[in-house]
Amino acid sequence: MLEEKYDAVTGPRAAPAQHGEAAFFDVDNTLMRGASLFHVARKMHQRGAFTLPEVAGFAWKQFMFILRGENMDDVHAVRDSALTLAAGITVADVEALGEEVYDEMIESRIWPGAKALAEQHLRVGRKVWLVTGTPIEVATVISTRLGLTGALGTVGEIVDGAYTGRLVGEILHGPAKAMAVRGIAESEGLDLTRCWAYSDSHNDIPLLGMVGHPVAINPDSRLRRHARENNWPVYDFRSGRRAATLGLKAATVGGAVYGLWRGTSRLRGPGH
């Protein structure tokens, strides 16, 4: 149960820091409607970075990825393609793109209910981290704009301000998220049994299962079933009906990363 302290005159007031406690939020379809990198890909299309046939191919890859379900073989295959396309792109390009996409496309898609949960954790003195497969540069923009503590995201190796085409570690997906959170817990002195985690995807069950307060938000069918079997709270912020999974999940870790790097690879210009 989240607790909130009030001042008789001014209303809600910040509580002392809750040492050892934190909350971890997935981003795509948990904190926001849809997938962040899908909107990055849309922005790249607006800039003429790729054509309509390429957009159609991008959408088909997303569809097939969802139809088959996510597995680590798929993730590794997409990772290899994405890294090849990423080599040579500058960090400044991705950071600037992240700022634009947040202002124009992401901000309006933040779930008010999920944002309220994050803000309530902050008000009672808990740190709030985003944990996402999105590149850390984009995840950091979202975290900063929302006033959160920080972000854990996929980290690309950078030399002289440009991506080398290699990762530092793995795509932050599935079990890798749990490992990253465990690392933060050790460095921050967190007691995971007193921490919260929020996600929409069954792929994040390793993360949800390692904290004392797991919460399913807008869950897919497998996570909804798992949450019900384990008596986890379920919040569904999709109005009026269950949102179409293929629409909201159109850019999960595989297709979304592919779409981002397929578009931004052309930022390098001719000769690369």
Tokens for 63? 């569809």
Opening angle at CA 148, ends 217 and 219, nearest 5: 10
- Report residue 87: phi and psi, to 5°: -55, 125
Give the DSSP H/E element, type plus range, for residue 261.
Answer: helix 253-264
3-state secondary structure of 142: helix
Give the residue numbers marked as catalytic: 26, 28
User: Which of 151, 150, 40 lies closest to 99, judged by CA?
Assistant: 40
User: Which of 25, 26, 17, 34 lies closest to 105, judged by CA?
Assistant: 34
How far apart, in whole angstroms, are the C-alpha atoms of residue 206 and residue 196? Answer: 13
Kindly calculate the radius of gyration of the chain based on its CA atoms and give it in whole angstroms: 19
Taking a C-beta distance cutoff of 8 angstroms, is the pair 76, 70 a contact? no
